[in-house]
Structure 1
């Protein structure tokens, strides 16, 4: 049976790929983002794949805009069954080079945007005692890295906020579910449009996965929201496990490698356009549509064995044991590199 879905950040990256996955089920999808070009293109893809679409330009940092968008979706499609929070923005720079208003802006979008979306979803789902919220998280919500202090702080905050909300729903014996999908490095357009003060082009830290890998896990989490968290990619599991057992060692390792690993060899202009304050995909008629993929297709994995295993309950624990071993092996390699 088709459902009514809301996806924030639906114009590009994981949000765009998730919209396609939900569309293949014939769902009715409310697409929220700031950029008109990306939203319109996403809506067209949804319809081509068999779903229904409503594109609603909205800045998730504005709680009134999110409320209006949710109202518009329910007016068109009926009660919201699933709300997926994806939208974010970021700044690539050392903390001391991030202006106060820029740090605040990242926090308002990447953290408070999730708060605003969750509030609107719960306002509708709790009275009906039905619905699922999927928070798209990151391994960086457990293990921070240099040059992304604002983003890492926001992702840590999302984890803490979501855990609190989950326990409140449990206390009330609500049938509304909240789950988090923790993501690895993903080949999205963010590295082309993020505000960067790095000398060279920003890049995701390998291994890199295609957004479709993330999207499949988002849809699965929406269908099976009973688990507190889902982990996508062996690197996500290894990072989180390594941080539990050797956080100090990882601090030293990232201090040594974290700057170069997040930049390509290509230099960028210090005044290149970015989407921190306004979208690069609209509202101009000639604005580009960035799509779901970034610039790293040749280096990105279209599948994740770990993600597949995590979706098959009988294999979860054996797979976790193997990945725990991989995480500890990675810690051992880092120790050897540091001497």
Structure 2
């Protein structure tokens, strides 16, 4: 991770959750981090934590759905911090509701932020990286980029779109033999503040589908991907791996399972507060800093053996190979003894 010392990193959606945890992690490795988001209080809190971790922080209030404003933000980043080495797209918004209860303008807004915001960020980052012939772009995705679930059709649609867009861009970069790389990190359910500010029409409080992971786990996945962007995709969390494998093998069966369990598993027993803040149109953290974590610390995992295994394929395969050879040798030895008898 010494790769990031003195480098210029851009993180969108950096005022809370995965974006904030990622910005802090980059700061811990000595990077200069540009934090892009809408909420003034959230950005200020995130900047303090980045600087306390040892990094340099630059905060820019910007809506990633606004291409021109985002381009101006990138120009400011390079003017104040230097050429952009890594761009991480995280910013998103969503609506928790059945599809039939989401208004057209709400669907449009989620798509603009959660999909087109990634497209604009990638477009702007690539244009600037080409001038220096280097760089890495990390798309923070989700298991829901492959597997849609009930009550999140707008978000799932955006994540599926990012998946297809990123694959297409990756092929083009490989065709051009470009040294610039793009990669995607598929996330599990994460303990972020989004469940306290997302627009919801559910009767009860929203929650991530367990098992839940802490944002720092997600951040470690992002940093590793940024340091090793040659791989096309990373999975974070055993639940992500299990979901993607199950969806590839038996998607119809998963449809029926989620139809039975998906609605209840995304709600807590407590009724939703109708006065809950909503960040769809305006930032919820303009005057209040929600921080990095959500309300699920007691139920969230701070470790992920799957993530370690994902980052150490060579070690895992070597150990598996050694174990297989050991078992084979043991079998041959036992067979020899049986024959001698």
Q: TM-score, normalised by structure 1?
A: 0.91
Q: How far apart, CA to CA, are the structure 2 residues paired with 1:281 and 1:193?
A: 9
Q: TM-score, normalised by structure 2?
A: 0.91
Structure with larger Rg: 2
* Mapping for residues 1-339 of structure 1, pairs under 5 Å: 1-282=5-286, 287-317=287-317
Does the Cα contact within 8 Å between 1:306 and 1:319 map onto a contact in 2?
no
Q: How far apart, CA to CA, are the structure 1 residues paired with 2:27 and 2:46?
A: 10
Does the Cα contact within 8 Å between 2:137 and 2:183 map onto a contact in 1?
yes
Deviation at 1:314, TM superposition (A): 1.5
Q: How far apart, CA to CA, are the structure 2 residues paired with 1:16 and 1:167?
A: 30
Runs of 4+ in structure 1 over 3 Å off: 315-321
Deviation at 1:271, TM superposition (A): 4.6
Q: How far apart, CA to CA, are the structure 1 residues paired with 2:311 and 2:35?
A: 26
SS of residue paired to 1:11: coil
Deviation at 1:280, TM superposition (A): 1.1
Deviation at 1:312, TM superposition (A): 1.1
Partner of 1:330: none
Q: Deviations over 1:87-126 (max 9, x none)?
A: 0000000000000000000000000000010001000112
Q: How far apart, CA to CA, are the structure 2 residues paired with 1:185 and 1:97?
A: 23
Does the Cα contact within 8 Å between 1:197 and 1:270 map onto a contact in 2?
no
Does the Cα contact within 8 Å between 1:23 and 1:47 map onto a contact in 2?
yes
Q: How far apart, CA to CA, are the structure 2 residues paired with 1:317 and 1:256?
A: 37
Residue 52 to residue 150, structure 1, CA distance change in 2 (3 Å) = same
Q: Deviations over 1:259-295 (max 9, x none)?
A: 000000000133532100000111xxxx110111000
Q: How far apart, CA to CA, are the structure 2 residues paired with 1:320 and 1:117?
A: 40
Superposition RMSD in Å: 1.4
Partner of 2:336: none
Which structure 1 segments of 5+ residues have no match? 322-339
SS of residue paired to 1:166: helix
Does the Cα contact within 8 Å between 1:17 and 1:215 map onto a contact in 2?
yes
Residue 318 to residue 246, structure 1, CA distance change in 2 (3 Å) = farther
Deviation at 1:2, TM superposition (A): 1.9
Aligned length: 317
SS of residue paired to 2:147: coil
Deviation at 1:49, TM superposition (A): 1.2
Residue 138 to residue 235, structure 1, CA distance change in 2 (3 Å) = same
Does the Cα contact within 8 Å between 1:130 and 1:176 map onto a contact in 2?
yes
Q: How far apart, CA to CA, are the structure 1 residues paired with 2:238 and 2:284?
A: 33
SS of residue paired to 1:135: strand
Which structure 2 segments of 5+ residues have no match? 322-341
